[in-house]
Structure 1
Amino acid sequence: MEVLVVIAYSGSFFYRVSLLRRKLVLTLTTRHGSRQIFLHQLLAYLLLTFVLLSGMSFFVSNWLLVKTHDDLTDLERDHQDLNEQYQLLLGTQQLYISELDELGSSLSDLSAERARLVEENQEIGATLSTLETRLGLLQEPVGMSLEERLELTRMAARQRLFLLHSIPNGVPISAERINDSYGMRMHPVLKTRKMHNGMDFKADRGTPVYATADGVVEYGGYRKGSGFGNLVVLQHNFGFKTYYAHLQKVLVKSGTFVHKGQQIALSGNSGRSTGAHLHYEVRFMYRPLNPGPFLQWGLDNFNALFSEVEEVPWESLSAMYPLNQSGAQ
């Protein structure tokens, strides 16, 4: 009587193990036929145990193989993901390196630009100090920034340029020399001592005559009975006037505006005169002034006029336009 039957397939044949009356019968079946082998009971148990263990090993091995294959697939997938992440990190690193190089280049450019600006600021500071000296301002006022000093200098320059265009200054003609200055003299025609209210510039006929300040033409033409001959009178700001006499030709009309440096006439020998020259006067409120300080007045000696010409009340003008930081001299 069979107790246990195990049927298995191995390679190209089937085998069956049967336990029959304390004997183990092993039946092998191939394509050539069947064959039975009778084994002793102990040997039969050992063989049966081997067969069972082999079958279990086969199934366990297959399960482990399948699981290992799945694990390998997962590992390969993880490896691929890690490789993609590595490539991404590598590209990001290259991008960071490129950005760091660009940042380094930008920092170098900024450093060079900063050095250039520092150099320019030094040049501006030196130029500003020169301008402050020319304008009569205090150099490097305490507590003032460079921008504040620039604004102060700009305002002072505007005020001085405005006054230099409003009040007569500079020479009215390119002359050979000054024949007669301001003051008492022996009149060359009348032969008597008379006050000479202006300056005479020796110049050939037809020499251009220029306005010494902005203004309006009060008179332009021949002045009878004055001895001036052809005369131009200009009205300027703050009550100043200038006279240009003994002209050959007047080039401006009464009531028109003229600017500083504009040609207004040609020098000549008209009126009471012994030779070609330009008679030039500066007046304040109809009062003749010595033209000398006005001829030499300019930006470099801006404050000199206010101390040399005492006939003008400069104090009231300094209240409107500060002539320097401490007021008019």
Structure 2
Amino acid sequence: MRNYFTVTISDVHGSRHYSFKHFFRKFAWVIVSVFLLIWGLGAVSLWWLANQAQELEIQNAASVAAFNKTLKKTRSDYERLLDEKQSLEADLEQKNAEVVFLDQSLQGLESLVGIDADEPEKLPYEERVKQVQLNTLGKSLMLDMVPSGHALADYNGITSKFGYRQHPITGKRQMHGGLDYRARIGDDVVATADGVVKYSAFDKDGGFGNLVTLVHANGFQTRYGHLSQRSVKVGEVVHKGQKVGEVGSTGRSSGPHLHYEVWFLHHRLNPQPFDKWTIEKYDDIFEKVKGVPWGSLSLSVDQIVKKVERQLSQTVALSAGK
């Protein structure tokens, strides 16, 4: 029985004996060894897989954290860009509104100075502004050289117009050669154009009392009568709007007022169109006042404006060349 081994199994019913050859015992040990080897390999594999899973979990957590950080930064950048976009859109909308406003203002100026409203839209804004400036310059020069506007700093209306009337003192019907401004004693009387003082004295013969006469460019003269006092002397150069005296009631006068006259060469003109002459109503005077060579006057002013334009162009060219 050396080649056998016996396995005894006992229970409540008794013992049972089984005999096996030694080959089977060796085979069983082989099986057990293989099982233990497989179990060991499985345990090692499970441990390795567990470690790999843990490392992957750590890497995944790091990747998720990095992704969340990147996502947060991207979201922050997106919100910042969105705010900048909204700010730029608001600025653009404001700039567009400003451009529209400036364009409307420029159109208003073009209309004011007599530039065709349709033609300038084809030109660049710089050229349109230049045209307005030059056109305004020409009209401003004309309004400064030729009597225009009120002869009182504080205008309060007219009491007597140019033309035939019943004289307030003599009662006779006679020619009234100027305008009488409603005023109070001491109100400032101002020059209606640039000029030189030709006369500043008390007028004994004409009845104008204290009288100032100014000579202007291109043959015009203005006279300011019944002054309480004169502020300029003969030979002085005066500018449009400068004070030349104060309202009074000197000479043949029925009360405080300013008597104002406009002359061209040796002819008295109706001062009322000159009194109402402004840049807004620039062309009206050319039809209302006859006997003045407005065409040659305008041509003379245009020559001055062109000279200024050439000087400006040369200045711009020199600035660009530096």
TM-score range (shorter-chain normalised) is: 0.5 to 0.7
Deviation at 1:249, TM superposition (A): 0.4
Aligned to 1:75: 53
TM-score by length of 2: 0.66
Aligned to 1:315: 295
Aligned to 1:54: 32
The structure 2 residue matched to 1:90, chosen from 48, 68, 76, is 68
Question: Does the 8 A contact of 2:168 with 2:254 survive in 1?
Answer: no
Measured in 2, the distance between the counterparts of 1:163 and 1:54 equals: 126
Deviation at 1:294, TM superposition (A): 0.3
Deviation at 1:293, TM superposition (A): 1.5
TM-score by length of 1: 0.65
Question: Does the 8 A contact of 1:249 with 1:266 survive in 2?
Answer: yes
Aligned to 1:246: 226
Question: Does the 8 A contact of 1:231 with 1:245 survive in 2?
Answer: yes
Matched, 1:282 2:270: no
The structure 2 residue matched to 1:164, chosen from 140, 143, 161, is 143
- Point out the more displaced range, 138-147 or 89-98: 138-147
More strand, by proportion = 1
Deviation at 1:160, TM superposition (A): 3.3
Question: Does the 8 A contact of 1:182 with 1:291 survive in 2?
Answer: no
Question: Does the 8 A contact of 2:164 with 2:173 survive in 1?
Answer: no
Aligned to 1:305: 285
Deviation at 1:250, TM superposition (A): 0.9
Measured in 2, the distance between the counterparts of 1:167 and 1:104 equals: 60
Letter in 2 for 1:172: A
The structure 2 residue matched to 1:208, chosen from 160, 174, 188, is 188
Question: Does the 8 A contact of 1:220 with 1:254 survive in 2?
Answer: yes
The structure 2 residue matched to 1:181, chosen from 162, 170, 181, is 162
Measured in 1, the distance between the counterparts of 2:54 and 2:134 equals: 80
Letter in 1 for 2:53: L
Count residues in correspondence: 286
% of aligned pairs identical? Answer: 28
Aligned to 2:248: 268
For 1:105-136, what per-residue CA distance to the aligned partner results, in whole angstroms no more than 9, with x for missing partners?
55455555555555555555555555444433
Measured in 2, the distance between the counterparts of 1:97 and 1:82 equals: 22
Measured in 1, the distance between the counterparts of 2:216 and 2:70 equals: 76
Larger radius of gyration: 1
For 1:142-188, what per-residue CA distance to the aligned partner results, in whole angstroms no more than 9, with x for missing partners?
52467765554455445434433443222324466444625899997
Change beyond 3 A, Cα 1:148–1:89: farther
Structure 1: stretches of 5+ with no match in the other structure: 1-20, 26-38, 323-329
Aligned to 2:273: 293
Aligned to 2:14: none
Deviation at 1:288, TM superposition (A): 4.0
1:3-22 paired onto structure 2 within 5 Å:
none
Measured in 2, the distance between the counterparts of 1:84 and 1:262 equals: 85
Superposed CA RMSD = 4.4
Measured in 1, the distance between the counterparts of 2:234 and 2:51 equals: 109
